[in-house]
């Protein structure tokens, strides 16, 4: 069973709902009178984005992109590879980038720069989780659901080797799961 690989539940379903509804309320207030283009960063942010948009009461349109770090182990450069690009032109749009979790911040720093270069009217970031102790890039994240310690988490969209995304809570993996890969 999937849940046998989980050491502890860090954020349960009730707490997730509280966090996401609160973010939705803040975003709705801040974007009053505007239309949001949600740029959902695949794949980890899909469940968060689907929940979040239902708590936003200004018009929202959806688009998706997928990015990966260039090479392996070269995390500090901030250079990312766009594996799948947006369908929409972001010029003049109010872009809200949706992330599952910010670690070094390299991915988001690059995406934010890219959206500005494409002349979005505004670019903000909303991340469900953040690990501030891991940050390498000094980026502004306008909306953060919750800061967490430096532990590898799965569930609510987040994966380890593409697994565990379907767990309805955020959990910490047992160390033996890593050891066996």
The interface with Mg ion within residues 39-78 (CB under 5 A) comprises 44
Residue with tokens 């860090």: 10
Environment class of 59 (CB within 10 Å of its CB; exposed 0-12, middle 13-18, buried 19+): exposed
How many chain residues are in contact with ligand IMP, going by CB under 6 A?
14
Integer Cα distance of 164 and 60 in angstroms: 28
Candidates 93, 96, 107, 155; binder of ligand IMP (CB under 6 A) is 107
Considering beta carbons, is residue 44 or 171 the nearer one to Mg ion? Answer: 44
Q: According to DSSP H, which parts of the chain are helical?
A: 13-30, 46-53, 106-117, 175-179
Sign, CA dihedral 72-47-146-62, equals positive
The interface with ligand IMP within residues 26-45 (CB under 6 A) comprises 44
Q: Check binding of 155 to ligand IMP (CB under 6 A).
A: no
Longest Cα separation, the chain: 51
Q: Check binding of 167 to ligand IMP (CB under 6 A).
A: no
Considering beta carbons, is residue 44 or 145 the nearer one to ligand IMP? Answer: 44
Q: Check binding of 171 to Mg ion (CB under 5 A).
A: no
Q: Which residues of this chain interact with ligand IMP, rule CB under 6 A? A: 44, 99-107, 152-154, 158
Q: Which residues of this chain interact with Mg ion, rule CB under 5 A? A: 44
């Amino acid at each position: 069973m999937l849940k046998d690989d989980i050491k502890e539940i860090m954020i349960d379903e009730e707490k997730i709902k509280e966090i996401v509804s609160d973010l939705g309320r803040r975003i709705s207030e801040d974007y009053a009178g505007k239309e949001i283009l949600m740029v959902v960063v695949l794949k980890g942010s899909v469940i968060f984005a689907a929940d979040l948009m239902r708590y936003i009461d200004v018009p929202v349109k959806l688009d998706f992109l997928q990015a990966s770090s260039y090479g392996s182990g070269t995390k500090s450069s901030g250079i990312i590879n766009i594996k799948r690009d947006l369908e929409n032109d972001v010029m003049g749009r109010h872009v809200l980038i949706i992330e599952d979790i910010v670690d070094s911040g390299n991915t988001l720093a690059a995406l934010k720069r890219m959206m500005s270069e494409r002349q979005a009217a505004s670019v903000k970031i909303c991340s469900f989780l953040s690990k501030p102790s891991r940050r390498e890039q000094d980026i502004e994240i306008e909306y953060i659901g919750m800061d967490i310690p430096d532990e590898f988490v799965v569930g609510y969209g987040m994966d380890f080797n593409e697994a565990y995304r379907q767990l309805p809570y955020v959990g910490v993996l047992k160390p033996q799961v890593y050891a066996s890969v």
